[in-house]
Structure formats: structure tokens, C-alpha cells
Amino acid sequence: CRFVQAHGTWVGLPSDDDMGNSEVGHNAIGSGKVYKQGASLVDAALESGDLFKGEGFTYVKSAFPTNTLHLIGLLSNGGVHARYEQLKQLMQGSFEAGAKKMRLHILTDGRDVPDGSSIEFVGQLEKDLEQLRAKGCDALIASGGGRMNVTMDRYEADWGIVERGWKAHVLGEAPHKFESALEAVTELRKLPKANDQYLEPFVIVDASGSSVGPIQDNDAVVLFNYRSDRMVEISKAFEYEDFKAFDRVRYPKGLKFAGMLQYDGDLKLPAKYLVPPPFIEKTSGEYMVKNGMNIFACSETQKFGHVTFFWNGNRSGYFDEKRETYVEIPSDKCPFNEKPDMKTKEITEAGIAALKSGRYDLLRINFASPDMVGHTGSLEATIRACETCDECLGQLLEEVDKLGGVYLVCS
């Protein structure tokens, strides 16, 4: 047993104060190299000013003279999906580039930062927007909700999360209406079992009760998260005209839509982005299949992309479908502390079956439960998740030993 560094500059993040995360971790393990990661890329582009000179921002800027700029993303300084300082710089730079009207659509965190910190972040954002208004920019918070309940679904686990976001951000419709975002997060946190991650969707309304910021034809929309996994689905909703995952009711025409980064290189999604993504080549998966090895990768929905997309250098699909088998076990659609075992047993069964088949030279397995249940903050449920994971890992490793194999366990 030995320790390896999995945070900060060791994995391509801006400083050693930045905690690691599952995305950059799987990029690093899969590639065996250190690349500048999303946060570092965005920091560098903002510091140099290149972000505001690039093709993506130029495209978005074309809407500024007559239309609204909408900024959608995680309101947090956790450093995993987004950073507040980057949002602040993006707002200021957009104003200096001619944005006359801005609307913020905020997703509260409570996962990568302490639960309850939403009130502090919203308060700070309101102060910064007030400064923009004093300079002549019509800048307001328009809608929001908790990250695990609104907009930020991943791996198509629950399109209803994205639909709730679409209704709030685009249509200006939500079950809760308030005249200020600070009032919204304060009051919604009082609901039973409420926390920042799962806040109900809300919209901000004016004195007449009308939404202050629905997304209209010819507006500009920027997703300001730099991490990709929880931005892919909402990107599809904005970008694909023939989108069918849910009824969008109204699809704004002529949108100038862009992501902070391109969230899926194979899908070219979104087509426009403010900062070019890291170019990760010659990953271990690609090297192995090109040298005749057969690979099995398995997890449940919440971590499936980590043993495939992120492991393979932010690429969707196979390098060689004849040599690779990817198995996704659907995650439960409920708060993970309610079913803390998640799909650990099913993943174990699939892994053991793959080992016994004799078809594979390498297996990649990810047990999602300790991480996902741990993020709920429920100690009792987390202990249960870890106990089940430990038991199942033992079963898997026992089978590896029987076959004379070698295993590497990372935690």
C-alpha cells in the first residue's frame, strides 16, 4: 500500500490548494500523464484575455447589442465543476465587450462546498450584480435550483432533472417564485429534508409576477461549468433541434449557444465553446487495444463515464469495438443514501462473470457507492455503502487470485 498525490498540480489543476476529483483522476490514470485540466485552461484563458478574443466568445458576443446574455452553471468555488471567480471575470469581461443585459441561472452546490453555503454565494453574487447595474448593465439572477435536482444530470440517469432546468431557465416556469434569489434559497432550505444539492427549482419574478429572465429567440447562452459530465445533457437540449428526451415546449430560435469548454469531443458538443479542451492522446486504453489486448470496463450510470469517457481522454465510444466491452448498470433514481448499496453487488457480479469468461486481459471496475453516498452527508448510509463495497471488492479480488491475475486498487 502506498499513497499517491491525486490533487492540485499533480493532476493538472491550477494549484495544490485545489482538490482532486473523479474526472481528472480518471484522465490521469487512463493517460498516465499530467495535462492542464479544465480549471487551469479557463484560468489561463481569462488571465491572458484569450477567452474574450476567441471564436466562441466572438460568436456569443454577436447577440450583445440587442439581446440578453444568459449564464448557466454551478454557483460555487469548490473547484470541481466551476469557480465563482471565473464567473465574476466572465461577467465583467462580457460587460466590457458590450453585454447590456445579463441573466444568471444559478445551481446551488452543497456537495463540493459546505451545505448552506448557497446563501453566502448568492449574497456575494447579488453584490457583484449590483456593481454591474451601477455601471449601466441590466444584470439579474433569473432562476435556479439545486445541482442534483435541476439541470446537472449526467450519463442520462434522469432527464427529469434537465427538464426542470429547461422549464426554469428557458420557459421561466417553476413551482416556486420569489422576488429575489436570496429569498429563494433561504426559504427553500426550510422545506423538509431540503439541502443545497436538492433545492427545488425556482424563478425570480418582478412586481407583476412575470419571470425576469426567460431565454428568448436570438439570445446568447453560455454554460460556465468547465467540467463536462453534468453539462452534456443540457447542451444537447440547447443544441439539437430534433431533441426528443423531453418536450421542450418552446425552443428559442437563433440562439448563440456555447459552453465554457467543449464537453464531448466525439459528439462535437457544443459546437461553440469559449476555451479549447485539453488534447489527451495515446491513452492506456488506446495503446492496449492497438496492441491486441481485450478490455472490459464496468460501473453503474453514475461512474460509467469515468471508466470509459474520462479514462479514454474525454472521448466517447470505443477505440476498437471488437476488443472492448463496456457494461453500464443503470443507477437508482433516488437520493443515494436511501439505497446506499447502489449497484455494488451487480457490478461485482458483472466483473466476476467477465473474469471467468477468460476473454479479457484487463478489467476496469468502478464502485460508485462510497463516493456518491458519502456526498449526501449521511454517515450511517455511507458506512453501509463502504461495508458493502468492501465485501464485494473482496469477492472480486478473490476471483482474480484464483485466476493468477494481478490487481491494483485505488481509493
How does pLDDT run across 364-404, given as a tens digit for each residue? 999 999 999 998 889 999 999 999 999 999 999 999 999 99
Is there a contact between 71 and 140 (Cβ–Cβ < 8 Å)? no
The full DSSP string for 237-304 is HHH-TT--SS--S---TT-EEEESS-SBTTTTBSS-BSSPPP---S-HHHHHHHTT--EEEEEEHHHH
For residue 192, report the phi and psi dihedrals to the nearest 5 degrees. -55, 135
Helices and strands per DSSP (H, E), number in the chain = 13, 10
Whether the pTM exceeds 0.75: the reply is no
Spatial distance between the Cα atoms of 236 and 245, rounded to a whole number of angstroms: 9
Spatial distance between the Cα atoms of 405 and 267, rounded to a whole number of angstroms: 36
- Say which amino acid occupies 62: S
pLDDT value of position 268: 80
Residue ranges of the chain with per-residue pLDDT less than 50: none
| Measured distance CA(198)–CA(341) in Å, rounded | 20
Are 267 and 295 spatial neighbours (Cβ–Cβ below 8 Å)?
A: no
**Is the separation of the CB atoms in 101 and 137 below 8 Å?**
yes
Question: What's the order of all strands across the beta sheet hosting 362-365?
Answer: 324-329, 295-300, 362-365
Tell me, what's the pLDDT at 266?
57
pLDDT for position 124? 98
- Tell how strand 138-146 and strand 362-365 pair up: unpaired
For 211, which DSSP code?
Answer: B
Of these residues, 15, 22, 208, 378, which one is catalytic? 22
Query: Residue 22 catalytic?
Result: yes
Return the pLDDT at 277: 67
